[in-house]
Amino acid sequence: MLTMLSENRCFGGAHRRYGHRSSVLDCHMVFAIYLPPQALAGQRVPVLYWLSGLTCNDENFMQKAGAQRIAAELGIAIVSPDTSPRGEGVPGDPEGKWDFGLGAGFYLNATQAPWSTHYRMHDYVVTELPQLIEASLPVTKSRSISGHSMGGHGALVCALRNPGRYRSVSAFSPICHPTISPWGEKAFSRYLGPDRALWETWDTCALLASGCAQMPLLVDQGTADSFISTQLMPEQLERAAAEAKCPLTLRRQAGYDHSYHFIATFIEEHMRHHARALLA
């Protein structure tokens, strides 16, 4: 059951925040949705799911990316989930760091205690949340997915692990090879334990190498991103896609960094990319 927490009119549509109890995550969750004017007029519209990065919640993309204008024009809803379970009893990083735990769910299903009770963000994003939204709001089952950084990793993995569930996928500055990235190694070792074979089932490059079902990938990466060589490693994705013969459009955007200034600059192109699939 959804409880509407707030509503703001925006480009003829509505930005809303909803709360609900998640059985998958065993906690209360909040997500944001932009419903374009077509949805408010009674039309069921397709959905772009946006997965945000480390430290973010449902608000960052909706307030900073400027995607609502083009979503209103195209007639596409945008859903922005939180980046992790939250609330009383949900464990965070025992060291109090920002790159693990609260705000850093990595869009996987944890297998190790104490994380396995709550940290099942993959099942939440792929299954539970869409079922809830499709049953309660004026949207169709036509879905696409995108995201930034940790969320870019999440978008690519969700699409590759669930063939046919999404019409299209894109990412900004994704963590391309988390099994060899410091952020990924920290998260995977705690959420999944020491078995690196299990880690690979949540790694875009490893999934491509395993021969998983493929779909065209659109990725934008800023060349001035301070994390590009140590954490994101787009060259690893380029190599894995080439070896797997997976269609990849990897655009290196000169001078752009890791911020929402970068995302806001190119979000319209991503929205139109998804519209070609969602509205076909």
Task: Report, as residue numbers or ranges, the catalytic residues.
Answer: 149, 225, 258
Tokens of 201: 């089932």
Provide the CA 179 distance to its chain's centre, in angstroms: 18
Residue 14's region, left for phi above 0, alpha for psi from -120 to 50, else beta, is beta
Could you give the 3-state DSSP secondary structure of residue 17?
A: strand
Which residue has 């078995």 as its token pair?
195
Residue 3 to residue 272: CA distance in whole angstroms: 31
Cα angle 226, 228, 107 (rounded to 5 degrees) comes to 105
Strand partners, 17: 6, 32
Nearest to 31 by CA among 21, 44, 46: 21
Cα angle 229, 203, 201 (rounded to 5 degrees) comes to 160
